[in-house]
Chain A
Amino acid sequence: NAGVTQTPKFQVLKTGQSMTLQCAQDMNHNSMYWYRQDPGMGLRLIYYSASEGTTDKGEVPNGYNVSRLNKREFSLRLESAAPSQTSVYFCASVVARHNEQFFGPGTRLTVL
């Protein structure tokens, strides 16, 4: 089991460029999440998907879109990157009965 995987690990973008962060899990979890981690602010929820076919906004959704492609995959898209989106992005999934979230290794994104 690979658990939760994320690609890419690092990315540098110019302001206005777009990109998609990929996340996949092989644990048959129903719920998946995207967070951003910023110094002094902890982890903040961007979007989540409680089950395949559904997505909902989290605490900081502006500037992002998501797609729950199937049960395994949950992607995060930046349509027009801004320097304020420089951050480390984490994907997570959860097995509901235990409520323990499993995290991916993160994507470090820099927007110049």
Chain B
Amino acid sequence: AQRVTQPEKLLSVFKGAPVELKCNYSYSGSPELFWYVQYSRQRLQLLLRHISRESIKGFTADLNKGETSFHLKKPFAQEEDSAMYYCALSGWQTGANNLFFGTGTRLTVIP
């Protein structure tokens, strides 16, 4: 069965410091990995996906199949990055376009 683990429920960093939100997964096959973000009073929205290999709002995430990880990184955190972040995977085991979410990490960037 698939599993997505986000070991940190809460993460606080100072503005300008690097930030890394961890995500590990368990899945038989080749899943598609995503990061979704929920800012205060806003809808959950896609931040980035591994197949795009792009940087969004300064965030990047590399899929490491050997370590089964998809950590989210940003070199210099900003106050507007404070939000709830969810790692999610999709694949044939989850059903058509279905997402399986981790438990989330609440990031707080301290001014």
Residues of A within 8 A of B (CB): 31, 33, 35, 40-45, 48, 50, 56, 58-59, 90, 92, 94, 96, 99-106
| A45→B99 CA distance, assembly (Å) | 8
Whether a CB of chain A sits under 8 angstroms from the CB of B95 is yes
Contacts of B98 in A (CB 8 A): 33, 45, 48, 58
| A62→B66 CA distance, assembly (Å) | 36
**Does A99 contact B86, Cβ atoms closer than 8 Å?**
no
**Does A103 contact B97, Cβ atoms closer than 8 Å?**
no
If the complex has contacts A31-B96, A50-B95, A50-B96, are A99 and B101 also in contact, measured as CB distance less than 8 A? no
Q: Is the interface of B mostly helix, strand, loop or mixed?
A: loop
B45 interface neighbour in A40, A50, A58, A103, Cβ under 8 Å: A103
Whether a CB of chain A sits under 8 angstroms from the CB of B43 is yes
Contacts of B9 in A (CB 8 A): 40
Residues of B within 8 A of A (CB): 6, 9, 32, 36, 43-46, 49, 86, 90, 95-104
Contacts of B45 in A (CB 8 A): 102-103
Q: Is the interface of A mostly helix, strand, loop or mixed?
A: strand
Distance in angstroms from A30 CB to nearest chain B CB is 9
When A and B form their complex, what is the total count of cross-chain residue pairs whose Cβ atoms lie within 8 Å? 53
**Max count, chain A CB within 10 A of own CB: residue among B36, B45, B49, B98:** B98
| A92→B88 CA distance, assembly (Å) | 14
**Max count, chain A CB within 10 A of own CB: residue among B6, B36, B97:** B97
**Does A42 contact B96, Cβ atoms closer than 8 Å?**
no
Distance in angstroms from A49 CB to nearest chain B CB is 10
| A42→B90 CA distance, assembly (Å) | 15
**Does A42 contact B99, Cβ atoms closer than 8 Å?**
no
Identify 17 residue pairs between A and B in the complex whose beta-carbon atoms are under 8 Å apart, listed by A's number.
A31-B96, A35-B101, A40-B9, A40-B103, A42-B86, A43-B44, A43-B101, A45-B98, A48-B98, A50-B95, A50-B97, A92-B44, A96-B96, A96-B97, A101-B36, A105-B43, A106-B43
